[in-house]
Chain A
Amino acid sequence: MQKAHDLKEYRKELHESLDNSFLRTTLDNFAIAYRAGRANAFKDMDVRGLINDIACSKDAAGENYEALYKEFKKNAEAAGVHVHFAKDGDEANRIIARIAKDTGCKKIVKSKSMTAEETLLNHDLEDAGLEVTETDLGEWIIQLRHEGPSHMVMPAIHLSRHQVGDLFTEVTGTKQDSEIEKLVKVARRELRQKYVEADMGITGANFAVAETGGIGLITNEGNARLVSTLPRVHVALMGIDKLLATLHDALRIIKVLPRNATGQQITSYVTWITGANECLAAEDNRKEIHYVVLDNGRSELLKDPLFSQVNRCVRCGACANVCPVYRLVGGHKMGHIYIGAIGLILTYFFHGKDKAKNLVQNCINCEACKDVCAGGIDLPRLIKEIHARILEEDGHPLPSFLLGKVLKNRKLFHTLLRTAKWGQKPVAEKDGFIRHLPMIFSKEHSFRALPTIAETPFRDWWQKNQPVVNNPKCRVALFSGCVQDFVYPEQMQAAVDLFAANGVAMDYPIKQSCCGLPVQMMGEIKASKDVAAQNLSAFDPDAYDYIITLCASCASHLKHNYPKLVMDKPSLKLRADAFAAKIIDYSSFVNDVLKVKQGDFAQTGEKATYHAPCHLCRGLDVHDAPRKLIETSGLEYVECAEEEVCCGFGGTFSMKFPELSAELLKKKLDNVEATGADTLLTDCPGCIMQLKGGLKKRGSAIKVKHIAEALSGNKK
């Protein structure tokens, strides 16, 4: 559970996780095994189509939840089940405690339910004098340790067999060794007698099917079957997000959920309970069944045009499985009760701003979670939106406020950058790096060297060197982004060189400014909107066939976020749509549009590997073009492990969480060095800044370049 009061305390907690080598190794191994397992489980399936169908049916269920609840209740009651509605967690817990009292229950066995975690049900039941035992092995372990889950599907993933062995020694009062097979059997026998004694069983529900009034439960251990069979009273606690219109909707989700959660094709058990079943422990041989349907902020969420998509979550935990930040720090630090990307969002709505305010900043915006989500939820966007809302409520911290102010004023911003060039003179080295870190950086930032501001920004170079292209094939506008404009103009120049040689007429609208992603990342939505409006007025989309940018982050921000940012201004929105439609990244343009040929480049055969920027591979779904271009440019492409995993730059993220950024970079560079390549290519200047700076610190000889530089360099 997340306890830090401010960012400083939170960062201290993060350090504890980073120092926990067991946790780090487990999560690393899992992340790698998961990716292969998932891919295998989805082989030959239309995953996108399936996810899209789930999103549609869940959206419809969300819009219709009141009617579905009525239908569900009617059918369940007709089948002899009692149905209760709870507006918040306290009420749900009260209802359940009262059922226990009314039915004279004393001992409760529980099968895993995230919803019960959310309402802190166990505390309330224990306060009411009831004995509660979790029966899911992982849940039982953390219950005995008085901890919260650290993963939605594998709640005890943070613990070693030795820790569990010691724990079981305490529980049984006799020494247990730490062999997993044996520990599992000890749990089996210890828990079996808990089932025998219990008079009430509590489960969650994965599905509440309106057309039948029944529920569906997905488990591997089979504990939900015992919990719902042996005791004479069964209570199922579920959020209104579990309501589905039809059984078919549920069967469809089952196709994705286990595959996405652990790479299993299906779990060992899927249990469908409809109506008051036979129970030989009850007086009349009928089980007493209660469904407690929980709102707790969900109906508010459903009314929100942006956040209603949260209802699509099926709690598979995949968004944590792929999150590079979760992989570093684990669930106790990457969420409050719900963990991972969805945890950052749900924490805000279910547990409040104070619990969420530090957590939401810990997202690097790599979009891995969005890419994998079973419900197709745009998680990174929602996380940023919550960050913005919290800033609105709490006031803006000085650095992000200032950055917002500066970026809104292009001239001021550019003047500052030009001044910085003079300011850095005393510490600038000839090799393009700053010798000492400026005072504003603490030593935690020393994991990478920082580049100097270029002698001549691209915009100045352009005004003197803009090429004339006769009989052009096509007409494009260039969008440089600030890093290439002021730090790495040579990347833009390389592109200009190749474009001119291929009959591309270019324009560089001089009033363009920073794309605005950095302020958006800091939650400064107002500033982000202003910057978007400025850039939109600087470009006339109708005048060009394409608008090209060499920065993956800019490209994805311009393409996907601009239309959303100006949504409330109809005339601007039209322009933004036209603008977004023309945006293309460098690699796609050169490979797919210009279709350059191997024959146009000197074939050196030098080994080069590749880093896929998050905003290119996931943000724009571009995968083949850059890799093909590496080969076209005359180099030999060697694949790097975890090529599409974030390098840890994340713009302002690396300023705020240097320790996390450093770790992500370390992994990336270890993988890069293991390829034995001489050159590392990528297509985002932010990534280049991170990778170059890190390799420089390591004293590595590997050259880092934008793909544009490789092509221009080898051009015959």
Chain B
Amino acid sequence: MPSKNDLYQKFVEKAELVSAIVTNITNEDEALRYVIDLCDKKEACQLLVSGCEADLSAKAEALCDTKQKKVIAAPGLKQDLYKKLAQGAEKAGFECIDKGMRDHLAGVDIGFTFAEYGIADTGTLMLDCPDEELRLATMVSEFHVCVLPKSKIRANTYEVEKMMLTRMKKTPDYLAFITGASRTADIERVLALGVHGPLELHILILED
């Protein structure tokens, strides 16, 4: 049996291999600070990689125009935590939402979530999101920030199998393994991040 610390080490090693950004935190408040700081540092629209000035077709342009302010989406957060986050965001001049993701399909800057489990074997996060708002927050955000309690790291997928089955049998269910950022190697096999989903995955490992 690998020790808790071995699992943690392995998880970090594997997650970093797929360019996830891993940080240790000791309490949830730290996570909120991290999110606000990150949002602050971040360029308004990461799609700048292609230059927002680069012309697109009229329809694609129009969608981009719907976004006015930096947005943090955190559906599914505990009430008190969400309140604190929303306060912090307001102070910093960002919009904070926990629903209405469909009005933000042009993209939100940060999606903030909690993972159910971590899988050390491959540096994978497991998120159960039958709730659509939560699901979208992990898909249309440019940066995905996810808190993983250290005690929830398991060796491999077989160790979460039972739990997966319980949820799947109590349908409906929409469950995801997430490993690193959205990626493609479809053009000349060159790796490019953020083709449809997040350009960056930040994992905050919570000491518990």
Contact = CB atoms under 8 A, between A and B. Distances in A.
Interface of A: 26, 29-30, 33, 78-80, 135-138, 141, 154-157, 159-161, 164, 171-176, 180-193, 195-196, 209, 211-214, 220-223, 225-226, 229-230, 247-248, 251, 254, 262, 265-281
15 contacts: A80-B171, A141-B187, A154-B186, A191-B196, A193-B62, A195-B105, A220-B183, A226-B196, A229-B174, A247-B164, A267-B179, A268-B197, A269-B179, A278-B130, A278-B132
B60 A189 contact: yes
B154 interface: no
Contact of B55 (A137, A172, A220, A266): A172
Contact of B174 (A186, A195, A277): A277
Contact of B50 (A136, A189, A209, A273): A189
A184 B194 contact: yes
A268 B196 contact: no
Interface in B1-48: 14, 17-18, 47
Nearest to B57: A172
Given A137-B187, A137-B195, A272-B176, A281 B102 contact: yes
Given A188-B47, A272-B164, A138 B63 contact: no
A254 to B, nearest CB: 7
Contact of B187 (A164, A209, A225, A265): A164
B59 A193 contact: yes
Contacts of A195: 105
Given A180-B190, A277-B130, A278-B132, A212 B54 contact: no
Interface string B189-208: 11010111110000000000
A266 B124 contact: yes
A223 B196 contact: yes
A187 B196 CA distance: 8
B1 to A, nearest CB: 18
B182 A79 contact: no
B92 to A, nearest CB: 26
Contacts of A171: 57
A212 B167 CA distance: 10
Interface in B46-78: 47, 49-51, 54-57, 59-60, 62-64
Interface in B110-152: 121-124, 130-133, 135-136, 139-140
B161 interface: yes
A675 B175 CA distance: 52
Given A181-B49, A193-B60, A274-B168, A254 B186 contact: no
A272 B122 CA distance: 17
A225 B190 CA distance: 23
Contacts of A135: 196
Contacts of B172: 79-80, 274-278
A280 B182 contact: no
A135 to B, nearest CB: 7
B161 A248 contact: yes
A272 B175 contact: yes
A225 B185 contact: no
Q: How large is the interface on B (under 10, 10 to 19, 20 to 34, 35 or more residues)?
A: 35 or more
Nearest to A136: B186
Given A214-B171, A247-B165, 6 more contacts: A30-B189, A137-B186, A190-B56, A193-B59, A251-B157, A266-B122
B187 A184 contact: yes
B102 to A, nearest CB: 6
Interface of B: 14, 17-18, 47, 49-51, 54-57, 59-60, 62-64, 102, 105-107, 121-124, 130-133, 135-136, 139-140, 157-158, 161, 164-165, 168-169, 171-190, 192, 194-198
A267 B179 CA distance: 7
Nearest to A80: B172
A234 B106 CA distance: 22
B176 A271 contact: yes
A220 B165 CA distance: 24
Contacts of A278: 130-132, 172
A188 B52 CA distance: 12
The 8 closest A-B pairs by CB, nearest first: A275-B171, A275-B172, A222-B197, A174-B55, A185-B50, A138-B186, A79-B171, A270-B177
Nearest to A217: B176
A79 B173 CA distance: 9
A268 B122 CA distance: 10
A141 B49 contact: no
A172 B56 contact: yes
Contacts of A186: 50, 54, 56
Contacts of A262: 185
Nearest to A267: B179
Given A189-B56, A272-B168, A229 B161 contact: no
A160 B140 CA distance: 28
B176 A192 contact: no
A185 B49 contact: yes
B197 A225 contact: yes
B133 to A, nearest CB: 8
B47 A185 contact: yes
B13 to A, nearest CB: 11
B76 to A, nearest CB: 12
Nearest to A212: B168
A192 B60 contact: yes
B188 A161 contact: yes
Given A137-B186, A190-B60, A225 B176 contact: yes
B193 to A, nearest CB: 8
Contacts of A180: 187-188, 190, 192
Nearest to A30: B189
Contact of A247 (B55, B59, B161): B161
Contacts of A279: 132
Given A173-B57, A247-B168, A270 B185 contact: no
Given A220-B182, A221-B184, A251 B56 contact: no
Given A225-B139, A266-B124, A274-B173, A189 B192 contact: no
A229 B50 contact: no
Contacts of B60: 172, 189-190, 192-193
B189 to A, nearest CB: 6
Contacts of A226: 139-140, 196-197
Contacts of A213: 171
A221 B195 contact: yes
